[in-house]
Structure 1
């Protein structure tokens, strides 16, 4: 397969200066800031280290779902878990986040089992760092069994705990998640939820009420930030999708308070994580080109090919060894016209993830 070349210029000068704006914001918030300016070295030696440690570089298989689900074909592109995971390991990925456990039944004449997937992981030196599955009390123990079989330390979902705009529904969701998180912790696993932009929109939690007695205005509290406070930090964790967080910054800027006044509040993905960085063990490193004419304000691209500053993001939030970055691009599959596109984008994105470095 011919792999596309990166158009991003991750120059050493760019890497040194990328964090200046966020560093100022973090400092103003009274949070610790890594030093990113040109140092007065004296007798000290300046060293460069990976910003995302190689063992923490991952991919969610949703990005290559077309090749996981593909039947054997003549394209020469890997298909099914065994071939796709082998190729991802060759590229350099060390961690896998799952988005289902099925492949095309024609590969084995039946469905693959979690035990067989675990062997493929082990044979390729890969670690399962999480999954997007259904978080449901009725099936949660079964999902924990699969997570243990695959060696996961995290279990999660690609959906919000609730799609509601109302505080009472988030309260109820917090009760469920606190209990399920406790069950997961008993088995050495962290429960997490993944966000889309709507999770960072504003609660409807202020009057006047509508005909059903529901609030129609907001106090200015964002849905998921309310959930942060209602859930136990020992039991409930988060996976920020960095792309969707930037979409939230673009889309969810204003709310109407109880007096009917329109208020502006700009969402900041970096500050949201930096204030509670240990509650975010996982991230979706998903990039996008700015497109203010589009409803979301961005169009997805391979990692490092868009306008989102991952250097700034990961450097300022700190705790590099704790955080796991999973590349995702919803639009990576190329269909029948370009069956190799998602795997090529995976390789390009890994290269750009590896180019993120920090100077000490």
Structure 2
């Protein structure tokens, strides 16, 4: 681990030159570490698990340089008129605030901002990418991915391929290692459609690899529901029952592991655990299978270079079983997940909260939540 990764964090911002050596600082923060280790099984970590993570320096599960945020979380700040508020607005000022908080990575969700922001409304161009790259560099931030354009046509049309390649060029300028989408590979339940999706993504992944970029797809809960791949056929000749494999697990098997990668949205994976528990087997019996997100990632850990670290508080009264909340304030067992996922320190967790914007009632809320979530991410220990 580099000296950069070894830096101790206080209050979410990197502190240097405080006059404390590492031993003194650790002694001063022993109470915090003890409190984390004392979390009960409902919060995830017991003494035995804590002892098992002694190979993590200071128990840190997400190294400082890996702590990121997807900009969709603060989309309200990026898109608001800088002439109407003193709050950070537009890409440049939001980057300044995220850098101040301590984030070191961002994932884009498109390249648009308010027209009155520096650079104009759209930065989806080579020149726009250069401008963004300068602002990222100025604030110690690295672009790690983008939820951007993936061709919808199949077979691909030339205009779609040209636009895809333009996005790869933008990603190169921004210094991204990854480029992807916020959607599932297909919304279909049927095996034949997932076969097509794999062919499509294999071709796109090969193009991205030639550009030095890893192409990734994303999940919502339905992608981890059960694939319809067997049993009697319906009137359209489609299968009506399942062998028990989940849709995205099948996609993992048939897509090219050298060119196609995934970003697990951990919140939606836990919603799948809550919602998608049974399937009708080929013999007509109803089978129960509880989804374990970690069991999918662990044997394929190198194919999951990014995560959405989106937290949820259990609420059985809702359809999803969870309410979205700032990172570290929910029930999802992130300590165990990051402790057990493998390839320690190589993943890129991006804090996301779809409902972070506070609207007119609290226009600063999304950045407030970003700071709270960063602090909780920095405090996460094994």
- TM-score, length basis structure 1: 0.88
Would the aligned equivalents of 1:114 and 1:146 in 2 still touch at CA under 8 Å? yes
Separation (CA, whole Å) in 1 of partners of 2:145 and 2:40: 30
1:101 aligns with 2:125: no
Higher helix share: 2
1:80 aligns with 2:95: no
Would the aligned equivalents of 2:305 and 2:347 in 1 still touch at CA under 8 Å? yes
- Please list, as runs of the form range in 1=range in 2, the aligned pairs for 1:10-89 lying within 5 A after superposition: 12-15=34-37, 36-38=49-51, 48-89=58-99
Q: 1:38 to 1:53 in 2, by over 3 A?
A: closer
- 1:349, CA displacement in angstroms? 0.2
Q: 1:18 to 1:133 in 2, by over 3 A?
A: farther
Partner in structure 1 of residue 329 of structure 2: 305
- 1:12, CA displacement in angstroms? 2.8
2:49 aligned counterpart, secondary structure: coil
Cα deviation 1:287-313 (Å, max 9, x = unaligned): 011001110000000000111111111
User: What is the count of residue pairs matched by the alignment?
Assistant: 337
Separation (CA, whole Å) in 2 of partners of 1:47 and 1:97: 26
Partner in structure 1 of residue 287 of structure 2: 263
Point out 4+ residue stretches in structure 1 off by more than 6 angstroms: 16-24
- Please list, as runs of the form range in 1=range in 2, the aligned pairs for 1:128-207 lying within 5 A after superposition: 128-136=143-151, 137=156, 138=160, 139-207=163-231
Partner in structure 2 of residue 356 of structure 1: 380
Unpaired segments of 5 or more residues in structure 1? 4-8, 25-34
Cα deviation 1:150-202 (Å, max 9, x = unaligned): 11000000001111111111111101111111111112110101100000000
Cα deviation 1:271-291 (Å, max 9, x = unaligned): 111111111000000001100
1:129 aligned counterpart, secondary structure: strand
- 1:16, CA displacement in angstroms? 6.7
Would the aligned equivalents of 1:19 and 1:316 in 2 still touch at CA under 8 Å? no
Q: 1:345 to 1:143 in 2, by over 3 A?
A: same
1:275 aligns with 2:299: yes
1:238 aligns with 2:238: no
Q: 1:286 aligns with which of 310, 313, 320?
A: 310
Q: 1:198 to 1:46 in 2, by over 3 A?
A: closer
Larger RCO: Structure 1 or Structure 2 (Cα < 8 Å, ≥ 6 residues apart)? 1
1:321 aligned counterpart, secondary structure: coil
Unpaired segments of 5 or more residues in structure 2? 1-10, 12-30
Q: 1:23 to 1:202 in 2, by over 3 A?
A: farther
Q: 1:293 to 1:192 in 2, by over 3 A?
A: same
Separation (CA, whole Å) in 1 of partners of 2:166 and 2:310: 30
Would the aligned equivalents of 2:113 and 2:120 in 1 still touch at CA under 8 Å? no
CA-based RMSD of the aligned residues comes to: 2.4
1:48 aligned counterpart, secondary structure: helix
